[in-house]
């Protein structure tokens, strides 16, 4: 079956669904109009299919040696599905091929764990490959000393400065696809590949951010009291305005079981409509925003050998103060049907092999800015 007939089948199925939907909504006139359009589509399909099937060299009673699902579906469509009276019949013509998934050429998807950590950190666009940012060093002011009349005034320590340096790295990859696939597929292959490269960019940024978090020495957590201590004491008032808890699915499950002395759950939905967070955790007199990252992206740490760190990750604090992405070039995607890549046995020549190459490039760096802004905790996993 050619692409035009496949497209018509898709239109017929969509129009049938539209007619049913309009009828159920009591929009009878609109349903009648849609039914007329369905009949016109069906008539066009029958005509084109009859022309395609005209094969004078084949005997009238001859049968194809092998019949695929699409051919059987097309034959049924020509007879307006008269014999398709049940979905789970012994053969497709008995009913199975009325189920769209049996013949869909569009790409279906499994559910995937997706999360972009970049929304939790600070990002600064830059125009150079390397640079530095100057920060005032943290210091504890001790105040002036008392001075007697006419006595010498003592010297005080002045401000100190430090620099955070960045160096841009290029990250890239390409996907080859045959031009036949691009031309013949009725699925949006180009859009799918571009989306795929976009997700690779997100994964690259996630990896760099988590590598920056891993620079912190892990703190062992045994329960809610340790989380409170990290918020109230270790981070203290300096980060009170931006503190949040970032954990994974396992961490959510743990927090979702905690109750106060009145048997009320400590975890609840965030009622602030302007908040980017969906949940908050009651920590003493405060409610701390909670961000849950899928386990696939922020996994629970398992010890590779005895003595290694392990536990459910809890990133507690202000990630926007902790890490900054210096973004030299956001994701750039280009395609070429004449480029050549690789060497030796892995070489590809798009022009010679009739391919199109999809290339994605991003250039960035992720650097720790304020190492005191977070506590990286690992909550002991129960036996």
Domain residue ranges of the chain, discontinuous segments joined by + = 3-102, 117-129+169-383
Phi, psi of 184 (to 5 degrees): -95, -25
pLDDT in tens, 192-227: 888 889 999 999 999 999 999 999 999 999 999 999
- At residue 90, the pLDDT reads 46
pLDDT in tens, 86-141: 444 444 444 444 444 444 445 556 566 688 999 999 999 999 999 999 988 888 88
- At residue 9, the pLDDT reads 76
Q: What is the mean pLDDT of the chain?
A: 81
- Does the structure show a pLDDT above 80 at 252? yes
Instruction: Calculate what percentage of the chain has a pLDDT beyond 70.
Output: 79
Structure tokens at 231: 């918020």
- Does the structure show a pLDDT above 60 at 75? no
Structure tokens at 2: 């050619």
Q: Is 143 left (phi over 0), alpha (psi -120 to 50) or beta?
A: left
- At residue 103, the pLDDT reads 40
The whole-angstrom separation of Cα 182 and Cα 11 is 21
Structure tokens at 284: 């003493």
Structure tokens at 180: 């036949």
* Distant-in-sequence, close-in-space partners of 276: CB < 8 Å, separation ≥ 6: 119
For the ranges 66-75, 77-86, 219-228, 333-342, the lowest mean pLDDT is seen at: 77-86
Identify the H or E element spanning 194: helix 189-213
320: β partners: none
Arithmetic mean of pLDDT, 250-260:
92
* Alpha helix (H) residue ranges in 301-361: 319-322, 350-353
pLDDT in tens, 41-55: 787 777 777 666 654
**What is the band of 85 on the pLDDT scale with cuts at 50, 70, 90?**
very low
- Does the structure show a pLDDT above 90 at 231? yes
- At residue 311, the pLDDT reads 94
- At residue 365, the pLDDT reads 96
DSSP annotation of 95 reads T
């Amino acid at each position: 079956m050619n692409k035009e007939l496949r497209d018509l089948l898709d239109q017929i199925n969509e129009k049938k669904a539209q007619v049913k939907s309009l009828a159920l909504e009591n929009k009878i006139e609109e349903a009648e109009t849609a039914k007329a359009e369905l009949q016109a589509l069906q008539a066009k399909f029958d005509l084109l299919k009859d022309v395609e099937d005209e094969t004078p060299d084949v005997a009238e009673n001859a049968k194809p040696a092998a019949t695929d699902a699409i051919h059987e579906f097309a034959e049924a469509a020509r007879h307006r599905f008269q014999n398709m009276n049940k979905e789970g019949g012994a053969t497709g013509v008995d009913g199975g091929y009325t189920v769209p998934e049996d013949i869909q050429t569009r790409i279906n998807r499994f559910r995937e764990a997706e999360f972009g950590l970049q929304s939790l950190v600070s990002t600064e666009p830059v125009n150079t490959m390397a640079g530095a940012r100057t920060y005032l060093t943290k210091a504890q002011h001790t105040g002036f000393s008392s001075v007697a009349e006419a006595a010498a005034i003592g010297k005080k320590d002045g401000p100190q400065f430090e620099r955070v340096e960045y160096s841009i790295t290029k990250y890239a990859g390409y996907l080859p696809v045959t031009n036949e696939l691009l031309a013949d597929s009725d699925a949006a292959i180009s859009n799918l590949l571009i989306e795929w490269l976009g997700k690779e960019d997100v994964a690259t940024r996630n990896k760099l951010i988590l590598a920056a978090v891993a620079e912190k020495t892990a703190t062992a957590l045994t329960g809610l009291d340790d989380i409170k201590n990290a918020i109230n004491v270790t981070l203290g008032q300096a980060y009170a305005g931006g503190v949040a808890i970032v954990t994974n699915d396992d961490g959510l499950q743990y927090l979702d079981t905690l109750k106060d002395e009145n048997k009320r759950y400590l975890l609840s939905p965030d009622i602030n409509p302007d908040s980017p967070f969906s949940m908050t955790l009651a920590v003493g007199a405060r409610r701390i925003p909670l961000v849950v990252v899928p386990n696939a992206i922020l996994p629970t740490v398992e010890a590779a050998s005895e003595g290694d760190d392990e536990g459910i990750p809890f990133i507690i604090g202000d990630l926007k103060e902790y890490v900054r992405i210096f973004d030299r070039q956001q994701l750039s995607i280009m395609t070429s049907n004449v480029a050549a890549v690789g060497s030796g046995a892995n070489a590809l020549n798009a022009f010679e092999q009739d391919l199109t190459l999809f290339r994605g490039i991003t250039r960035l760096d992720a650097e720790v800015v304020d190492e005191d802004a977070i506590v990286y905790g690992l909550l002991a996993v129960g036996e």
